[in-house]
Amino acid sequence: EAGVAQSPRYKIIEKRQSVAFWCNPISGHATLYWYQQILGQGPKLLIQFQNNGVVDDSQLPKDRFSAERLKGVDSTLKIQPAKLEDSAVYLCASSLGQSSYNEQFFGPGTRLTVL
C-alpha cells in the first residue's frame, strides 16, 4: 500500500513570495490533515478535511494561508505572501475517517525555508 505522498520535499523562497505544497493521501482515506512543525515543537494542526469539506481550520492563518481538497482526494496548501516565521516542515497526514480510533499516517513532509 502506497503511503502519503508530498511534494516538493524542500523549498527555499524569499519573504513575500508565494509557495504551494501538494499532498496525495493513502487511497481510501477520507480525512486529510495539514500540520506545521517548527523545529523543536510538536506538529500544529493547520486544517483538517473530511472528504472535500473543512472540519477544522481554526489555527490556519487565513490572511496568508489557504488550502483546498476539491475532489476529496489530493490537497494543496498555499502560502501567499510568505513570512520568515513560516519556515517550518509542513506535514500532511491522512486517516480512514474521523473516528477516535483511526490512526494518522504521515507523509515525508516539505521543509520550507523563507529567507
Q: CB of residue 46 vs other proteins: minimum separation in angstroms?
A: 12
CA atoms within 13 A on the CB side of 42: 1
Q: Interface residues for other proteins in 60-79 (CB under 8 A)?
A: none
Binds other proteins by CB under 8 A, chosen from 1, 70, 71, 100:
100
Do residues 74 and 22 lie in contact, with contact meaning Cβ atoms separated by under 8 Å? yes
Give φ, ψ of 56 to 5 degrees. Answer: -155, 125
Amino acid identity at 72: G
Using the rule CB under 8 A, is 106 a contact of other proteins? yes
Q: Give the footprint of other proteins on this chain (CB under 8 A).
A: 33, 35, 40-45, 48, 55-56, 58, 89, 91, 98-109
